[in-house]
Amino acid sequence: MDIAAQSIEGGFADPVFNAQTVFRAVMDAMARPGSVQPLPAFARPPVPLSATAGAIALALCDNDTPLWLDPALQASTAIRSWLGFHTGAPLANTPADAHFALIAAPAEMMALDGFSQGTQDYPDRSTTLILQVSDLVSGTPLLLEGPGIETSATIAPAQMPRHFVEQWKQNIKRFPRGVDIILATSGGIACLPRTTRIKTMEA
């Protein structure tokens, strides 16, 4: 399949319904941090962009939301064309310029403070990171507390950055500024909004 065909195919079959379903799943996951919300494979983006991450991008990104791609995704002409065709989102020159960031290799991503943190007056101008992970159970167990969590929740996303918990503690301190994270795995998502406190459960 040539690049032109790859950039057109694999979008939402039912754009309105599919986008609404994805948006609702993201909102539910943000409201209940650590909960896993099921998400069908509505999109078929070029590899290495996953179906789940691609669907989130199609639902949330548009021509007013600059999008940053990590090196693994940026290197693919097919992915850049596919996202441009289906979302119209301009590619951000730097992570600090991005409203959304798609990360195919979370273990290798830059520090969280390199992305847009928003401002005190406009904290919503921060970057939302969409991280592709293979699963939410095989990584380091994380204990979550905060708004939307009755007592505590546990999640163990794979392929997270080595010093993620330490970086997240700094992210919390910047509130109301700071980034939010969407974890995209096959068939589902979980979210880590900036209000969530995270502790490692390793001995």
pLDDT (0 to 100) of residue 201: 77
pLDDT value at position 8? Answer: 83
Listed residue (158, 114, 101, 99) closest to 133, CA to CA: 158
Is pLDDT of 202 > 80? no
pLDDT at site 203: 42
Q: Please report the domains of the chain, with CATH numbers, ordered by start residue.
A: 3-200 (3.40.50.11310)
**Residue 2 confidence (pLDDT):** 61
Residue 1: is its pLDDT beyond 60?
no
The overall average pLDDT reported for the chain is: 95
pTM over 0.85: yes
3-state helix, strand, coil in the chain (%, to 5): 35, 20, 45
DSSP state of 64: T
Is the per-residue pLDDT at 3 higher than 70?
no
